[in-house]
Amino acid sequence: MPIPPRLQIAGAVYHVATRATGPSELFRDREDRMRLLRILERVVLKYGWRLHAYCLMVTHYHLVLTTPEPNIARGMQLLNSMYARTFNERHGRIGHLVAARYSATIIEAEGHAFEVARYVPLNPVRSKLCARPEHYLWSSYAATIGLRKEPPYLDSRWILERFGDDLSTARQTLRDFVDAALVSETLEAA
């Protein structure tokens, strides 16, 4: 049975995830992650996306973005194919790097928006890549809460608007929201 086409909606906010094939690494080092971010910047500009958050793990990555035009499929195809080509060339690798399809969930409810705002930055903590989400270099979280400069292709307003009208308050409220999940998970593990 054929796979149904993806919903592509102008103005939709998506939580997107792409995984490497099998147990492969999608990123082996800093240079791989920098390459993905450079390609992502080009795709964001080309398709007019608003990138609200990202997190590059080892075997996968997450994006939260708005597509002003119904072009999520074209943009993701370009992003993943360009990255796979450069990765394969750099590492002398042949074959598919990215699993067959990326996942793209449309964020419609506010509750879902809050959960994604917390889930994406907590990914590296839950995977034991860092102790605190703001310490992870390959996530937009530190920039969103004001600890690092926001790259020009990142537009964290969509996330911060959910946490307050004032920038400083919104950043602190988001940080408190994410920290509350860390405390809760630490208590559950104990």
Could you read off the pLDDT tens digit of each residue along the chain, which spans 190 residues?
Answer: 566 677 899 999 999 999 999 888 999 999 999 999 999 999 999 999 999 999 999 999 999 999 999 999 999 999 999 999 999 999 999 989 998 789 999 999 999 999 999 999 999 999 999 999 999 999 999 999 999 999 999 999 999 999 999 999 999 999 999 999 998 776 676 5
What's the confidence (pLDDT) of residue 187? 63
Measured CA angle at 175 (ends 146, 163), to 5 deg: 90
Q: How much of the chain is helix, strand and coil, in % rounded to 5?
A: 50, 15, 35
Instruction: Determine the pLDDT at residue 3.
Output: 67
Q: What confidence score (pLDDT) does residue 189 get?
A: 61
Q: Quick one: pLDDT at residue 22?
A: 80
Where in the chain does DSSP place strands (E)?
12-19, 50-56, 60-67, 103-106
Whole-number Å distance between alpha carbons of 46 and 93 = 28
**Cβ(68)–Cβ(25) under 8 Å?**
no
Task: Record the pTM.
Answer: 0.94
Confidence (pLDDT) at 154 = 98
What pairs with residue 139 in β-bridges?
Answer: 55
